Amino acid sequence: FTAESGVNKFEVYSKSSVNFIYGYNELGFKVFINNTEQNQGFVKWIPTMYHGIGGPSHSIPVPDKYNFDADKNLFTGYAVL
């Protein structure tokens, strides 16, 4: 999926499947600041899982930060849904 705000954009990719799946997901982020792709630093992502409209929600296990992997050209890590 992609999240954009003005000239800033995050693209999120799953190596595990074409969609996010329940269980372990290997993830990669592409980050664009001022329309320029970033390849230094790290990404922090704090997702929330919702169980239906008005239902309960909770955080999900993710690493403290997603570091840049030059071989994959992505900030990489995981999420357990």
Look up the pTM and report it: 0.85
Q: Break the chain into its structural domains and give their ranges.
A: 2-80
- Which residues have a Cβ under 8 Å from the Cβ of 23 and sit 6 or more positions away? 80, 81
Per-residue pLDDT band for 51 (boundaries 50, 70, 90) equals confident
Burial of 8 (0-12, 13-18, 19+ CB in 10 A): middle
Tens-digit pLDDT profile for residues 3-15: 999 999 999 999 8
